[in-house]
Amino acid sequence: MKAFCLLAAIALTVPAIALETPRTPVLVELFTSEGCSSCPPADQLLMQFDTKQPIPGAEIIILSQHVDYWNQLGWTDPYSSKSFSQRQQEYAFALHTSEGPYTPQMIVDGRAEFNGSDVRAARDAIAKAAQQPKVAVAVTLVPAPKSPQLRIHVDGAELAKVAGKADVMLAITENDLANSVTKGENAGHRLSHNGVVRRLSQIGKADKNGYDGDPAVPLDPSWKRENLRAVVFLADHTSHRVFGANEVGF
């Protein structure tokens, strides 16, 4: 009887393990601003994607990029950067966005764009992106007191199957940020954010020979290290289409 119970217990656990399937990384970028009254719902949606990971088969990696063109209307977004506005402008050309840059704008894997508050469009685009061939991006953290170091590896043969070459991009993001807005369209509201991009840069190029790098990552003392992530992704230089991504916490 004991042997039967043991076998039954094992049998019950096997299906649960078998049902676990690897998730495909999907990069979700949101162009947003604390000066835009339409943006908070999109910010919340991005946070839900990050914390709940609700799309089967997709490992959602988020980048919240705060643009600066709303700053002139009364509230200066403390997370905004001209470089993010420029990146969004480049997307407008690449994706042929008729209305040009706007907020909130969500972009999935550099290929699909839509209003960042559109839940159905977001879920559909992420699910579709998770079905596309991707390049594995291996990222590990080498801890250090001041400037932690990353070890990054991309297989060249794997990259050659989906793209001839790609920019290797590194974003440092911060979670659990909140701010009380006192001016502009969101005056009187406290806004919360995840995945806020603190720094975004190209750190190399990958091609048929792959890529191996071990960049040091200086961290600003004002950032909370326990809330930081390093996001590494492969993207086409002109279109920004994403071929693979991964992230690691600090």
Looking at the domain assignment, is residue 6 inside a domain? Answer: no
Domain enclosing residue 200, as ranges: 25-249
Looking at the domain assignment, is residue 212 inside a domain? Answer: yes
pLDDT at 19: 55
Looking at the domain assignment, is residue 11 inside a domain? Answer: no
Looking at the domain assignment, is residue 14 inside a domain? Answer: no
> Using CB atoms within 10 A of its CB, is residue 121 exposed (0-12), middle (13-18) or buried (19+)?
middle
- 10-residue mean pLDDT profile of the chain (250 residues): values are 44 48 95 98 98 98 98 96 98 91 98 98 98 97 85 97 96 98 97 98 98 95 96 96 97
pLDDT at 4: 43
Residue 32 tokens, joined = 């947003």
pLDDT at 47: 98
Looking at the domain assignment, is residue 16 inside a domain? Answer: no
CA distance 127 to 149: 32
Looking at the domain assignment, is residue 19 inside a domain? Answer: no
CA distance 85 to 68: 6
Looking at the domain assignment, is residue 8 inside a domain? Answer: no
232 strand-pairing partners: 170, 246
pLDDT at 15: 47
pLDDT at 11: 44
- Using the Cα atoms of residue 141, residue 80, residue 107 and residue 160 in order, give the sign of their dihedral: negative
Count of domains forming the chain: 1
CA distance 206 to 151: 14
pLDDT at 201: 98
- pLDDT tens column, 24-38: 999 999 999 999 999
CA distance 87 to 93: 10
Residues 6+ apart with CB under 8 A from 46: 28, 30, 62, 64, 106, 116, 194, 195
Residues 6+ apart with CB under 8 A from 214: 142, 149, 150, 151, 152
Helix (H) or strand (E) holding 244: strand 242-249
Looking at the domain assignment, is residue 76 inside a domain? Answer: yes
